């Protein structure tokens, strides 16, 4: 469905929109459940994302509308807000709350949102709407934040206002993403490098299992907790701040400190996955996509068996991929428990991959996945020309 957001805005608010902004979603190539353990991740921004079209009003009211949801909200400008019922507008409301909390003078706004990221697909629709709102407020009201500060503010909103203990990867990736580049991000120091994703004869496929990530939030917080338990145990002998401060060899020498077998599996995943990201960066730089792909398969295996955040739907995509010689690698991406998998597929064989993966998955799971060929796009920004064109 194509939308002319400018015209839709006019229909809804009976006035002209003044500005439009876009923030993408993201996929993570490798380095899963690493960001809150202070290690390395390799996400990239995708061309799906969230748009917001806006005009200030003189009524001191924030009006939230969406082309994706019927839920809407009109709320007067006040000193602070609380998350109300479960609704999409809690994300932008949380961002407004944090701007007010930091002492910024805001004015009423009429806002129309539209997103083409499948919801609950693990492609970071929440980070996308948070970051696009933060960027918009910063621009409209001269907030004076730099991009990293906006990322940190958006993460605080997700952690405190929304209540999910996520790391910084998603907000960072959707803000700093660059076309055709992956971000090699150190989640401890927040230093990053935008590295070329020269995939040669391969393309990146995104396979949405179409299984909403129901368990994601509660199990996510449980995994964060388990990692903290593992860290405490290791700190009895090691002077470290994060699990990712050690590599697998050092881990082997100290793993006896972790007495709970489940916690041990979680730590093993984290530390080995962090090592895999380093190898994956080398493979990508050398154009060795077969090695990169094997690391993706290894990552999935560890997420399935050690970290236990996969599920039969994501596993089905990887199982099929392993049988197809035109696929270099595949894995779940994001938090897990449903959502999306990614695969490195030969461009010439993409259509067959899409058909066969769909058939395999449907026979096994009972409903179809959605398969996309993904483009790596830019991070958050002001839209100049696209305001009046169809999106």
Q: Output the smallest distance, CB 215 to ligand GLA, in A.
A: 13
Strand order of the β-sheet with 181-186 is 40-41, 181-186, 192-196
Cα distance between residue 56 and residue 341, in whole Å: 40
Residue (of 305, 304, 307, 239) closest to 267 by Cα position: 307
Q: Output the smallest distance, CB 93 to ligand GLA, in A.
A: 19
Cα distance between residue 71 and residue 55, in whole Å: 20
Nearer to ligand GLA, 335 or 357 (CB): 335
Contacts from 353-362 at CB under 8 Å and sequence distance 24+?
A: 353/205, 353/324, 353/326, 353/327, 354/205, 356/320, 356/324, 357/207, 357/317, 357/320, 357/321, 357/324, 360/316, 360/319, 360/320, 361/207, 361/209, 361/313, 361/316, 361/317, 361/320
Nearer to ligand GLA, 35 or 245 (CB): 35
Q: Which residue's Cβ lies closest to ligand GLA?
A: 166
Tokens of 141: 């009201």
Enumerate the H helices of the chain as residue ranges.
Answer: 5-13, 90-101, 125-140, 147-156, 169-176, 216-234, 248-254, 261-285, 289-305, 312-323, 350-365
Q: Output the smallest distance, CB 157 to ligand GLA, in A.
A: 12
Q: Output the smallest distance, CB 285 to ligand GLA, in A.
A: 22
Across 241-263, b (16+ Cβ under 10 Å) vs e yields: ebbbbbeeeebeebbebbeeeeb
Helix (H) or strand (E) holding 73: strand 73-76
Q: Output the smallest distance, CB 28 to ligand GLA, in A.
A: 6
Name the active-site residue from 170, 245, 275, 315. 170
The region that residue 137 occupies, defined by phi over 0 for left and psi between -120 and 50 for alpha, beta otherwise, is alpha
**Footprint of ligand GLA on this chain (CB under 6 A)?**
28, 32-33, 35-36, 166-167, 169-170, 334-335
Residue (of 208, 343, 351) closest to 289 by Cα position: 343
Q: Output the smallest distance, CB 143 to ligand GLA, in A.
A: 24
Q: Output the smallest distance, CB 112 to ligand GLA, in A.
A: 26
Told to judge if 170 belongs to the known catalytic residues of this protein, a careful annotator would answer yes
Tokens of 204: 């990146």
Residue 141's CB is within 10 A of a number of other CB atoms, namely: 15
Nearer to ligand GLA, 177 or 334 (CB): 334
Nearer to ligand GLA, 57 or 228 (CB): 228
Nearer to ligand GLA, 36 or 89 (CB): 36
Tokens of 200: 């040669």
Q: What is the DSSP string of 258-300?
A: ---HHHHHHHHHHHHHHHHHHHHHHHHHTT-HHHHHHHHHHHH
Q: Output the smallest distance, CB 180 to ligand GLA, in A.
A: 22
**Active-site residue list:** 170
């Amino acid at each position: 469905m194509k939308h002319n957001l400018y015209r839709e805005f006019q229909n809804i608010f009976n006035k002209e929109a003044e500005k439009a902004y876009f923030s993408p979603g993201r996929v993570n190539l490798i380095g899963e459940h690493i960001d809150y353990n202070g290690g390395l991740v390799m996400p990239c921004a995708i061309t799906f994302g969230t748009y917001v079209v806006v005009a200030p009003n003189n009524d001191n009211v924030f009006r939230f509308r969406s082309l994706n949801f019927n839920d809407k909200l009109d709320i007067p400008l006040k000193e602070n807000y609380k998350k109300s019922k479960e609704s999409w507008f809690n994300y932008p409301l949380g961002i407004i709350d944090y701007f007010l909390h930091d002492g910024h003078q805001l004015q009423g706004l009429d806002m129309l949102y539209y997103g083409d990221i499948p919801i609950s697909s693990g492609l970071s629709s929440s980070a996308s709407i948070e970051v696009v709102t933060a960027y918009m407020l910063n621009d409209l009201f001269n907030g004076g934040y730099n991009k990293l500060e906006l990322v940190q503010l958006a993460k605080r909103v997700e952690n405190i206002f929304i209540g999910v203990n996520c790391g910084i990867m998603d907000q960072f990736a959707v803000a700093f993403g660059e076309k055709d580049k992956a971000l090699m991000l150190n989640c401890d120091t927040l230093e990053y490098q935008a590295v070329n994703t020269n995939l040669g004869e391969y393309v990146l496929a995104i396979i949405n299992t179409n299984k909403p990530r129901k368990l994601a939030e509660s199990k996510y917080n449980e995994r964060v907790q388990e990692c903290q338990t593992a860290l405490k145990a290791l700190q009895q002998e090691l002077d470290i701040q994060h699990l990712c401060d050690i590599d697998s060899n050092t881990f082997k020498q100290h793993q006896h400190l972790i007495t709970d077998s489940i916690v041990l599996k979680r730590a093993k995943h984290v530390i080995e996955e962090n090592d895999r990201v380093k190898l994956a960066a080398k493979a990508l730089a050398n154009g060795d996509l077969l090695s990169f792909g094997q690391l993706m398969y290894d990552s999935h295996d560890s997420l399935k068996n050690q970290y236990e955040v996969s599920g039969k739907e994501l596993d089905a995509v990887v199982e099929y991929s392993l049988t197809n010689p035109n696929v270099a690698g595949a894995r779940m991406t994001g938090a897990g428990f449903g959502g999306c998998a990614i695969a490195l597929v030969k461009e010439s064989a993409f259509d067959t991959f899409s058909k066969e993966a769909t058939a395999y998955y449907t026979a096994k799971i009972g409903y179809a996945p959605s398969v996309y060929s993904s483009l790596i796009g830019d991070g958050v920004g002001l839209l100049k020309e696209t305001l009046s064109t169809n999106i």
